[in-house]
Structure 1
Amino acid sequence: MTLPRSIAYRLAAGLLAASIPLAPTLAVAAGASQPGFEFAVLSHSFKAGTDDAPLKKAIAGVSAFNASFVVATGIKSAGEACSDKLYSQRKDLLDASTPPLIVSLSASDWAGCRNSRGRGNAIERLNRLRDVYFADNQSLGQRKLTVSRLSSTAKFRSYAENAHWEVGGVLFATVNLPANNNHFLPEAGRNSEFEDRLVANRAWLQRLFAIAQGKKLDGIVLFSDGDVGVLDEEESSLLPSFSSKQDGFAGPRKQIRLLAKKFGGKVLLVDTQGEKQGEQPGEKPARGKLAIPRGETPVIHWKGNMGHVSIASDWAAIAVRTGKTPLFEVRERASRPSLPKH
């Protein structure tokens, strides 16, 4: 007997959802029954020298805030050494966070690294970071959070830095999209890392939206180093450019836009490039302008169901307001608890 098309479609969708690994979940720190929670984004609180004081202060701040979890967008500045010693020291420092802490890699962590002879060794350093920070499915921090990694799929076993978890009806995920044009290299024959990671990230984004759609989640939050530009104007041409000015974010940007259109919830992208002067809440960011003064509260800009916010330095807290509009809202600094004086 042939099933009606609508019933057959629902059965197929159910089988697809059942085959997708569920995202690890975390009970909201303030109580799972309470609507809404807050998470923190720890941005580039680094200096080119050996002074870890700014980073320690930022970690103390997010710990006092008692967020449900923290995402650290990078572990070092571009001027610091890409050494095993520094990687290990920063891991110990980040592990002191009271809330669970998930690391989202930045370009300064690996993409710009060079060896003692001045040659680029980005791939070797990226693999070393994977060994140090993503060896298992646990977050850093005094409280642990279990995450699901792309490396759990045999085809993408190298990409442990891409992780996802679920809190309060929202799916959170890190995506390795470094700010240096997604580590696209204009020199011929040197883009194997970029091309392989492009394939892995494509499968990763497809999985994330399938999970969120199948579970009818309220939203998806994607953390990356680079600004993918999802709120920018549409490309004037659909033909790819293979010049030295090729946009390394073109593929992920197009995919996220297409997936977001089919998703019933909100999609928020969080990066570390800093906001631009002259933007107004709800409007598309204008690229190429100077960053807003340090210390000002970042603003989420929306276009349809897609939102974008950049965190320039220090740290920021974002509230998830379950059942309310807007779903995501950056907390004002004045509303955070003050740190104890020593």
Structure 2
Amino acid sequence: MNSHDLAFSIFDGDIKNGGEPCYADIDGSAQKAGQPDVYKYALNLFNQFRDPVVYVPGDNEWTDCDRPSTAGPTFDSVDRLNYLRQVFFPDDRSLGRRTLQLTRQSPQYPENVRWTRGPVTYVGVNVPGSNNNYIPDGDVKDGPQAEANAEYAARNAANLRWIRDSFAAAKASDSKAIMITVQADMFGDSPTAPGGTTVDPTDHFADTKALLARAAVDFGKPVVLVNGDSHYFTVDKPLSDDAGNVIENFTRVMTFGSSLNHWASATVDPADPQIFSFHQHIVPANLPTYTFSS
């Protein structure tokens, strides 16, 4: 990516594998295990990018940290969220060697950001997979239910405010388009994703999707939602109104991830009514050796 002339890049969550421990210096777990602090390790990588990097948190680095598969319940998901806020969002600048001025929602939710480049308003919102950190009754794979659900309720309310405020800001600045980045695949409501991956519940994204639908129609210009989480590349139009009409000015781009280690870029052309065009960048070194049974 450093060989390309990029205005900036956005990383839509998951700085580590979902089953890897959430080692950190904050509680000495990294030193005890003789492993690097995974947050500072990722920060160092982001700061090797020549151009600005905006990081939006994913579920692997906080909501999933109290699962047994990540050496939980040794780790606490809310503690890890607060820690990554300290590590990645200490001021109003992006990551990368060349930085970008950002508007952050508040000291409490510094990961929710907004900035403008040319005719487009860009927004980052902490909407993670694992059902937005909501734990239903009877779920034994996640940590303390009361703590998680209180965190979810407060952050979700802040997220909805930030999305509303961001559409208002885009209107006020007469932006021609808005791009919103989250980590969660909020539309992963089929039994499995390609490759046989089981998709997590998505019911606690309903109010976010409903707001995006109404806000996109009201905005009346191109709206792009970028997300990761399911880790395969797709461009689609997954939002509809109550009558089933596809909201045609809303486009979702889901980025590569996990075993598909490539990247995607967006080109902005103010003269194009759609504003955005998207391009896949396949990294040859990351291609697998293909095999067939016959």
Q: Of 47, 51, 76, which residue of structure 1 is paired with 2:16?
A: 76
Q: 1:116 to 1:76 in 2, by over 3 A?
A: closer
- Mapped partners of 2:237, 2:164: distance in 1: 27
CA-to-aligned-CA distance 1:201-223 (integer Å, 9 cap, x gap): 01101110000111111111011
Secondary structure of 1:308's match? strand
Contact 1:282 1:303 in 2 (8 A): no
TM superposition shift of 1:118: 2.3
Larger radius of gyration: 1
Question: SS of the residue aligned with 1:82?
Answer: coil
- Determine whether 1:171 maps to 2:131: no
Q: Matched residues in 2 for 1:324 and 1:201: separation?
A: 30
- Measured in 1, the distance between the counterparts of 2:72 and 2:88 equals 26
Any gaps of 5 or more consecutive residues in structure 1?
Answer: 1-61, 152-156, 233-244, 286-301
Write the distance in 1 (CA, Å) between the matches of 2:74 and 2:45.
Answer: 29
Q: Does 1:319 align with 2:267?
A: yes
After superposition, the C-alpha distances for 1:193-252 in whole angstroms (9 at most, x for unaligned) are 11001110011011100001111111110111112339x9xxxxxxxxxxxx67010111
**SS of structure 2 residue aligned to 1:65:** coil
Match of 2:277 in 1: 329
Cα RMSD, aligned residues only:
2.7
- Whether the aligned pair in 2 keeps the contact of 1:105 and 1:161 (CA below 8 Å) is yes
8 Å contact 2:7–2:52 — kept in the other structure? yes
CA contact under 8 A between 2:186 and 2:202: conserved in structure 1?
no
Structure 1 residues 282 and 229, CA gap change in structure 2 (3 angstroms): closer
CA contact (8 A) 2:184 2:227 kept: yes
Amino acid corresponding to residue 94 of structure 1 in structure 2: F
Taking the aligned partners of 2:281 and 2:41, their CA distance within structure 1 comes to 29
Native 8 Å contact 2:53 2:96 kept in 1: yes
Alignment-derived partner of residue 109 in structure 2: 159
User: More displaced, 253-262 or 324-333?
Assistant: 324-333
Identity of aligned residues (%): 28
Give the TM-score normalised by structure 1: 0.64
Alignment of 1:1-342 (within 5 A): 62-74=1-13, 75-84=15-24, 85-114=37-66, 118=73, 121-151=76-106, 157-187=107-137, 189-190=146-147, 191-229=149-187, 247-272=203-228, 273-275=230-232, 284=238, 303-313=247-257, 314-333=262-281
Over 3 Å counting, the alpha-carbon distance change for 1:282 and 1:133 in structure 2 is closer
1:81 to partner: Cα distance: 2.4
Give 1:330 deviation, angstroms: 0.9
1:287-327: CA deviations, max 9, x gaps?
A: xxxxxxxxxxxxxxx83211111112221111111121331
Unaligned runs of 5+ in 2: 25-36, 138-144, 190-200, 240-245, 286-294
Cα offset for 1:126?
0.1
CA 1:217–1:261 in structure 2 vs 1: closer, same or farther (change >3 Å)? same
Shift of residue 282 of structure 1? 5.9
Pair 248,327 (structure 1): closer, same or farther in 2 beyond 3 Å: same
Q: Deviations over 1:109-164 (max 9, x none)?
A: 1110028662561100000000000010011111110101011xxxxx31111111
Equivalent residue pairs, number: 239
User: Distance in 2 between the 1:106 and 1:162 partners?
Assistant: 13
Structure with bigger RCO (C-alpha 8 Å, 6+ apart): 1
